[in-house]
Amino acid sequence: MTTSTVDRCLALVETLAGRPDGASLGALAQLVELPKSAAHRLLHTLAGRGYVTQDPQTQDYQLSLRFAALGFRYLDMRRLPDVAQGALDRLALDAGEYCRIAIVEGEGLVWIARAQGATQGLRYEPAMDREVVLHATATGKSWLATMPEEEALAIAYRRGFRTPPGFGPRILNTVDDLRRHLRETRERGYALAIEEGEAGIVAMATTFRAFDAPDAPVAGTVSIAGPLVRLNEARTAALAPRLHAAAQEIAELWPVRRRQRAPVKPTSDSALATTP
Same domain, 26 and 99: no
Domain boundary among 45, 64, 83: 64
Q: Is residue 266 part of a domain?
A: no
Same domain, 86 and 53: no
Same domain, 57 and 83: no
Domain boundary among 11, 41, 64: 64
Same domain, 55 and 82: no
Give yes or no for a contact between 15 and 60, defined as CB atoms under 8 angstroms apart.
no
Cα gap 183→177, rounded to integer Å: 10
Q: Is residue 272 part of a domain?
A: no
Same domain, 60 and 105: no
Pick from 2-6, 11-15, 85-89, 208-212: least confident:
2-6
Q: Is residue 57 part of a domain?
A: yes
pLDDT tens-place string over residues 111-157: 988 999 988 778 888 877 788 999 999 999 999 999 999 999 999 98
Concatenating the DSSP letter of every residue in the chain gives --HHHHHHHHHHHHHHHT-TT-B-HHHHHHHTT--HHHHHHHHHHHHHTTSEEE-TTT--EEE-THHHHHHHHHHHHHTHHHHHHHHHHHHHHHHTSEEEEEEEETTEEEEEEEEE---SS------TTS---GGGSHHHHHHHTTS-HHHHHHHHHHH-----TT--TT---SHHHHHHHHHHHHHHSSEEEESSSSTTEEEEEEEEESSSSTTSPEEEEEEEEEETTTS-HHHHHHHHHHHHHHHHHHHHHHHHHHHHHSPPPPPPHHHH----
Q: Is residue 225 part of a domain?
A: yes
Say what the pLDDT of residue 50 is.
Answer: 85
Cα gap 107→96, rounded to integer Å: 31
Say what the pLDDT of residue 82 is.
Answer: 64
Q: Is residue 7 part of a domain?
A: yes
CB under 8 Å to 13, separation ≥6 — which residues? 46, 51, 63, 67
Same domain, 237 and 126: yes
Pick from 70-74, 140-144, 160-164 the range whose average pLDDT is largest: 140-144
Residue 201 pLDDT > 80, yes or no?
A: yes
Q: Is residue 180 part of a domain?
A: yes
Same domain, 24 and 146: no
CB under 8 Å to 144, separation ≥6 — which residues? 134, 135, 152, 155, 156, 178, 182
Same domain, 233 and 106: yes
Same domain, 114 and 57: no
User: Which CATH number belongs to the domain containing residue 18 in this structure?
Assistant: 1.10.10.10
User: Which CATH number belongs to the domain containing residue 205 in this structure?
Assistant: 3.30.450.40
Domain boundary among 64, 98, 113: 64
Of 267 and 141, more confident: 141
User: 36 is in which domain, residue-wise?
Assistant: 3-64
Q: Is the pTM of this model over 0.75?
A: no
Same domain, 15 and 96: no
Same domain, 218 and 198: yes
Q: How many domains does the chain have?
A: 2
Same domain, 28 and 135: no
